[in-house]
Amino acid sequence: MAQQEVDAGAAAKALKAFAAIVGAGNVFSSEEDKVAYSDHFAPDDMEEQHQPSGAVAPSTVEEIQAIVKIANEYKVPLWPISRGKNFGYGGAAPVLKGSIILDLSRMKKIEVDAASGTVLVEPGVSFFDLYDYLQQQNIPLWISVPGNSWGSVAGNALDRGVGYTPYGDHASRICGLEVVLPDGDLVRTGMGATAKGTTWQLYKPGFGPSWDTMFCQSNFGIVTKLGLWLMPEPESVLGFDIDVDKPEDLGWLIDTLGQLRREGILQQSPSIGNWLRAAATMTTREEWAKPGEVLDEKVIAAIRKKFNIGWWAVALRVYGPVEITEATLKVLERSFNGKPVLKMSPTRWVKGGAPEGSPATGVPVTYPLANANWFGGRGGHLGFSPVLPVSGDLALKYFRRNYDLHNEYGFDYHPSFAIQDRSMNNINQLLFDQDNPEMVAKLDTLFRTMVKEAAADGFAEYRTHIGYMDVVADTFDFNNHALGRLNRRVKDALDPNGILAPGKSGIWPSPKKGGAA
């Protein structure tokens, strides 16, 4: 979809006006600032295509409302970010080049209702912030964190991020939002729409239409507060770290875990990762092969032997009173009887002991980000994340096809399969060296090929990189893209000047409104 260019003069005037609202020290417009808010994990040309005009960092709702008013006056697009750590999907960068970043990272208030197990957070609250707050206040609640926990609690939930505990579907735990609309109006969803809002974080639907999900992955408003349900600290967490030996073991492993999930025996969101997910955080490719060489099974076997890892691995955990977790663990163990398991390492945590220090126990970590350095140079990665049925045969089909595609284009395949109640997110990290022009040149074709082949089978991504939002939105093509038309109608109604995150999730304002052509 063609994009209208941002008026540089209007953007400069808006940034100057923003300084009068938030102070000159909270407006950023130098060349260094523009680079700071760019996508550092994307190829250089893509990073340049999505570079902003600058940024403004408010600290209150009132400042946001004033900023929105000025953006409408100058017809300048804003791109809201919580902390800008959406790595693999664009980071802090906007879809539309020249947009002004609305950086909400200064907004860091936390309100916990320990008795109800809920929290109300502002966008700047990171997973580390919330974890530390609960620990320091000795509140017996756990958060659910993604594999790389550097980002925002609110931002991750709004982008439908996932974790590894029974509360791992973060978007489904949202309960109540406060939102500044594109015209500056302030609204609270659900029970927060009452003057007192006593049950705002307790009951999701409210009265009438439910709006919480309308602000997930959309550009219909700026979320300034987000309610979230937290998991009560369990009495125990027991489980197994399971490794399997062969690529084809993926099939029976997914079928086994899918059945355990559907029956409610396994309540977490287990994520199956291949050998590269583990190895890329501990070594680099240059230790094992020359540039351009395909990693054959002999090399992969050597890597696995050195680090004692399987071809596939998954961490399974059960949560609750010891009597329940011990009984459930026996059922889990029995489910793997007769299966070709390489190793099954037991884990055990009982309340009072130190948690194992992983996302499985709600502890934020950042070490998985090290895998971006796998190829050397300036490490880069993009995320390709289609949603598939929980089927072992289908997973094997996709694994083999994408494995061959990666080898054909000179990439190493880095997939994971995160199993939900009835579906699984096939999250693939396309790792590359930003300083390798041949690899960078092939990246776009590889990504588009995977999108096209998934769409041909009726599957689409649940989130994607800013450079491919139109491409992915185009795969939702029922009735000549009826969903896209509906999204645009809502966009035009709420945002007549098209100033809020144009292009987010492929949603553009109508051309006559001053947005995409």
pLDDT tens string 455-514: 999 999 999 999 999 999 999 999 999 999 999 999 999 999 999 999 999 999 998 544
- For helices 249-262 and 322-335, the axis angle rounded to 10 degrees is 140
pTM for this prediction: 0.95
Q: What's 110-232's CATH class?
A: alpha beta
- Residue with structure tokens 């987010």? 504
Give the three-class secondary structure for 387: strand
Q: Which of 131, 463, 468, 488 does the annotation list as catalytic?
A: 463
Amino acid at 279: A
Kindly state the average pLDDT of the residues 229-245. Answer: 97
Count CA atoms closer than 13 A to 176's CA, side-chain side: 23
The 3-state DSSP class for residue 123 equals coil
Q: What percent of the chain has pLDDT over 70?
A: 98
Class of domain 237-314+329-346+366-467: alpha beta
Catalytic residue among 133, 378, 403, 462: 462
Buried b (16+ CB within 10 A) or exposed e, 274-299: bbbbbbbbeeebeeeeeeeeebeeee
Residue 3's pLDDT is 58
516 or 337, which is more confident?
337
Smallest CA-to-CA distance from 34 within 76, 104, 97, 116 is with: 97
**What band does 517 get if pLDDT is binned at 50, 70 and 90?**
very low
36 vs 42: CA distance, rounded Å: 13
164, 149 in Cβ contact below 8 A? Answer: no
Q: What average pLDDT score do residues 123-145 get? A: 97
Domain pair 8-104+491-513 / 110-232, same fold = no
* Angle ∠(83,88,89) on CA atoms, nearest 5: 70
Binning pLDDT at 50, 70 and 90, where does residue 1 land? very low
- Among 429, 402, 409, 410, which residue's Cα sits nearest to residue 418? 429
pLDDT tens digits along 321-376: 999 999 999 999 999 999 999 999 999 999 988 878 889 999 999 988 889 999 98
- For residue 398, the Cα-to-chain-centroid distance in whole angstroms is 21
For all residues of the chain together, what is the average pLDDT?
A: 95
Can you state the angle between helices 61-74 and 8-22, rounded to 10 degrees? Answer: 160
Quick one: pLDDT at residue 511?
85
The tokens describing 285, both together, are: 């490719």
Which CA distances in Å does 448 have to 58, 166, 296, 504?
37, 33, 25, 18
Judge whether 74 counts as a catalytic residue.
Answer: no
How confident is the model over 69-81, as a mean pLDDT?
Answer: 98
Q: What angle separates helix 392-409 from helix 437-456, to the nearest 10 degrees?
A: 150
Q: How far is CA 368 from CA 158, 187, 486, in A?
A: 21, 37, 38
**CATH top-level class for 8-104+491-513?**
alpha beta
Collapsed DSSP state (helix, strand, coil) of residue 424? strand
Q: Where are the alpha helices (DSSP H) in 429-468?
A: 437-456
Contacts of 306 (CB under 8 A, 6+ apart): 283
Tell me the domain boundaries of the chain: 8-104+491-513, 110-232, 237-314+329-346+366-467
Taking residues 264-288, report their average pLDDT. Answer: 95
- pLDDT given at position 33: 96
How many other CB atoms are there within 10 angstroms of residue 77's CB atom?
A: 32
Is 304 catalytic? The answer is: no
Strands 231-232 and 141-142: antiparallel
Catalytic residue among 37, 74, 89, 398: 89
Task: Provide the Cα torsion 350, 354, 356, 360; round to 10°.
Answer: 70
Judge contact between 76 and 14, C-beta under 8 A. Answer: yes
pLDDT, residue 512, reads 55
- 100-103 and 54-56 strand pairing: parallel
What are the CA-CA distances from residue 458 to residues 238, 389, 453, 454, 476 (Å)?
Answer: 38, 11, 9, 6, 9
**Which amino acid would we find at residue 195?**
A
Any catalytic annotation for residue 262? Answer: no
Q: Please give the distance of CA 336 from its chain centroid, rounded to a whole number.
A: 31
The C-alpha atoms of residue 158 and residue 177 are separated, in whole angstroms, by 10
List % helix, strand, coil for the chain (3-state, nearest 5): 40, 20, 40
